[in-house]
């Protein structure tokens, strides 16, 4: 019983099948890894990368989950874990010269954000 009180409350949120390549989303995830929620919101709000929007939305969802489900204050949380995994690739073809076709790979990713209270560091 005592072991459950020693473990910190971890809250997470996941966005699956996001239509951005995982390599580009990982660049944004690296910017906010290990930061507090307020710092991460500020960084993502002013980032010019397109992948910042889905990462920001997952971070907001994780903070809302912490507030609603675990009763934690979003201002006292930090990003303990953020992962960007590869999702399924949509394969399309583009017509080219002399009747040929070249493949176009439209990659997707799964973004997971896990938050912990700052005092749990």
Which parts of the chain sit beneath pLDDT 70? 1-8, 119-121
Other residues' Cβ atoms within 10 Å of the Cβ of residue 107 = 17
Please give the pLDDT value at position 120: 46
Per-residue model confidence (pLDDT) at position 7: 57
* Domains (range + CATH), the chain: 23-120 (3.90.470.10)
Query: What pLDDT shows up at residue 9?
Result: 84
The pLDDT assigned to 118 comes to: 86
CA 75 – CA 83 distance, rounded (Å): 21
**pLDDT tens digit string along 86-103?**
999 999 999 999 999 999
pLDDT of res. 8: 66
């Amino acid at each position: 019983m005592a072991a459950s009180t020693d473990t910190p409350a971890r809250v997470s949120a996941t966005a699956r099948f996001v239509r951005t390549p995982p390599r580009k989303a990982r660049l944004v995830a690296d910017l906010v890894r290990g930061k507090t929620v307020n710092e991460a919101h500020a960084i993502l709000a002013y980032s010019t990368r397109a992948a910042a929007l889905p990462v920001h939305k997952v971070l907001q969802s994780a903070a809302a989950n912490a507030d609603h489900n675990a009763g934690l204050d979003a201002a006292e949380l930090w990003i303990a874990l953020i992962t960007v995994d590869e999702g399924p690739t949509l394969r399309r073809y583009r017509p080219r010269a002399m009747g040929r076709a070249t493949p176009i790979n439209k990659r997707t990713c799964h973004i997971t954000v896990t938050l912990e209270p700052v005092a749990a560091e």
